[in-house]
Amino acid sequence: MNQSNCMVAQSGGPTAAINASLAGVISGIKKSGKYDTCYGAINGILGILNERYLNLSQMIPDEKNLNRLKVTPAMYLGSCRHKLPDYKDDDSAYVFIFNQFAKLNIKAFFYIGGNDSMDTVLKLSDYAAKIKSDIRIIGVPKTIDNDLCMIDHTPGFGSAAKYIASTMLEIAHDTFIYAVKSVTIVEIMGRDAGWLTAASALARNDYNTAPHFIYLPEVAFDKEQFLTDIRNKLKTLNNVIVAVSEGIRDKNGDYITASKAVADQFGHQQLSGAGKALEFLVKENIGVKVRSIEINVLQRCASHLASATDQSEAFALGEHAVLLAEEGVTASMVTLTRTSNTPYAVAYDHAPIRGIANEAKSIPREWINAHGNDIRQELYNYLYPLIQGEVSLTYQNGVPVYMPVPHLKPDHVS
């Protein structure tokens, strides 16, 4: 038996496009013809440690399955948030993993994920170099947060941005119906970077100016300035809509949350987010009708409103990762570069994993206005191409048709 196989896994938080990258890897492997079997490790790197694999060559046998996988939200293979130790401290996991690779004749390992997952790619690459393994280890980027370095933007971001922009427009329609003054706070994901919150600006059109303010983690949040912004806007507009990142902080770096000493009727305590905190600020200090809306996980799993641009790039990155492995590249992440903005075009490339893992990319300050309460045209221009194009979905019984996920099956107990 002289098989040549490969393995793929997914890790971190879900996106609407992460399965498109998985489909891209599977497609790339089929095209290459150099691998006998493509294994999927279940729940990321944990799947290897627990010897839990799927035979993807059998499970996704044809184009129809591949296309369905492409539009399915979250991780077909499941995910994990598992940090490998430094192999210098404890190499037992590494020994086990590379033994598994040897046992299954794995020649290439593709890990689809965000910052933390790229840390795993880095550590596996370092260990592979140490033991002089020739297994190709390639990271395939994804994160709705768009905060990975060395890449123009991350797969998953465009779909989340499209959902946020469309939802913001719909919230604007929903908000402006009453002839009473009101403030609506929309809390959007993004703990350290404001890319997703900035994307709410894409809801603006020739009749809609909402969101009227955008507050980002990149700018220290000033409570008094916020209240002044709102008070001034209410002078000329009945209904003010605010987009705010969950990750806004004050000038001391403390998160703005409505968190302290919160107890309910059962005597429990809770943590609430930036949206609630701003809601209270308006309620207590301005006194108009106010509500907050947390878009929550819907922004990362609403594949029914995925960006076709995002999905096709995620797929292409998966395919390109396989090409790289064939060319002998390892210890790298597949990347994309924007070669032109109008017309929008990208090129696929790769970068050493060392400069990517554990780094994060924020919005450049010069792409945010001086007051720190809105974005500049440069950022709008950057964001705009990423949400273009609608994906073609099939509906059955009134809901979207996605790929049946193994761990969702009724008989699945893990």
Residues 76-95 that bind its own copies (CB under 8 A): 78-81
Does the annotation list 337 as a binding residue?
no
**Nearer residue to its own copies within complex by CB, 165 or 316:** 165
- Interface residue with its own copies, options 62, 64, 287, 399 (CB under 8 A): 399
Does the annotation list 13 as a binding residue?
yes
Q: How far is the CB of 14 from its own copies (least distance, A)?
A: 5
Instruction: At 99, list the tokens.
Output: 């033994």
Does 341 bind its own copies (CB under 8 A)? Our answer is: no
Does 270 bind its own copies (CB under 8 A)? Our answer is: yes
DSSP strand pairing (332-341 vs 53-55):
unpaired
- Interface residue with its own copies, options 302, 322, 325, 357 (CB under 8 A): 302
Does the annotation list 115 as a binding residue?
yes
Which of the ranges 26-34, 109-117, 278-286, 312-320 carries the binding residues for its own copies, by CB under 8 A?
278-286
Does the annotation list 378 as a binding residue?
no
Does 162 bind its own copies (CB under 8 A)? Our answer is: yes
**Residue 274: what residue type?**
A
- Interface residue with its own copies, options 59, 104, 169, 351 (CB under 8 A): 169
Note the Cα 136 to chain centre separation in Å.
25
Q: What is the pattern of x (binds its own copies, CB under 8 A) and - over residues 33-72?
A: ---------xx--x-------------------------x
Burial profile 96-112: b = 16 or more Cβ within 10 angstroms, e = fewer: ebbebbeebbbbbbbbb
Which stretch of DSSP H or E encloses residue 21? helix 18-32
Does the annotation list 168 as a binding residue?
no
**Residue 348: what residue type?**
Y
Instruction: At 47, list the tokens.
Output: 């799947």
Rounded CA separation 278/183 (Å): 10
Phi and psi at 375, nearest 5°, equal: -100, 160
- Interface residue with its own copies, options 251, 287, 343, 413 (CB under 8 A): 413
Q: How far is the CB of 381 from its own copies (least distance, A)?
A: 12
Rounded CA separation 202/368 (Å): 15
Instruction: For residue 134, indicate whether it is catalytic.
Output: no
Rounded CA separation 191/315 (Å): 27
**Nearer residue to its own copies within complex by CB, 97 or 202:** 202
Rounded CA separation 185/46 (Å): 39
Does 224 bind its own copies (CB under 8 A)? Our answer is: no
| Most distant CA atoms of the chain, gap in Å | 77
Residues in 378-397 that interact with its own copies by CB under 8 A: 384, 387-390, 395-397
**Are 144 and 156 spatial neighbours (Cβ–Cβ below 8 Å)?**
yes
Does the annotation list 143 as a binding residue?
yes
Length of the chain: 414
By C-alpha distance, which of 175, 163, 234 is closest to 208? 175
- How far is the CA of 66 from the CAs of 22, 75, 296, in angstroms? 9, 14, 28
- Interface residue with its own copies, options 62, 89, 253, 261 (CB under 8 A): 261
Phi-psi region of 405 (alpha: psi -120 to 50; beta: other; left: phi over 0): beta
- Interface residue with its own copies, options 231, 233, 283, 289 (CB under 8 A): 283
- Interface residue with its own copies, options 51, 174, 327, 378 (CB under 8 A): 174
Instruction: At 49, list the tokens.
Output: 């440690």
Query: One of 116, 119, 145, 147 is an active-site residue; which one?
Result: 145
Does 303 bind its own copies (CB under 8 A)? Our answer is: yes
**Nearer residue to its own copies within complex by CB, 53 or 127:** 53
Does the annotation list 62 as a binding residue?
no
Residues making up the binding site: 13, 115, 143-145, 189-191, 246
Residues making up the binding site for substrate: 143-145, 189-191, 246
Q: What are the residue numbers of the active site?
A: 145
